[in-house]
Amino acid sequence: MWSECRACKRPLRSEEARRLGYGRDCARKRGLTPPKPRRTRAAPRPKPVFVPPAADALPGQTAIDLVFHQPTLESL
């Protein structure tokens, strides 16, 4: 058992590190422990949902497709 890292002399705190004789980073550098898992890209944000125009929409109101965050004359 080791009380300090054999490479950088920092005190070892975890049981695994004391057994290896190396701290987490030094053990990783020497290939004693698997490399840090790589961060994966976050899931893309969902696209706005298309809202079909109301059945009673007046001509011209549907010229531009409405999405949920767009105000209508009734919502103002």
Stretch that binds Zn ion, among 24-32, 36-44, 48-56, 62-70 (CB under 5 A): 24-32
Q: Does 12 bind Zn ion (CB under 5 A)?
A: no
Q: Does 8 bind Zn ion (CB under 5 A)?
A: yes
Phi then psi for residue 16, to 5 deg, are -60, -45
- CB of 37 vs Zn ion, minimal distance in Å: 21
What does the block give as tokens for 69? Answer: 């965050």
Nearest alpha carbon to residue 50 among 34, 66, 27, 28: 66
CA 56-61-66 angle, to 5 degrees, is 100
Stretch that binds Zn ion, among 2-10, 11-19, 28-36, 63-71 (CB under 5 A): 2-10
**Residues in touch with Zn ion (CB under 5 A):** 5, 7-8, 23, 26
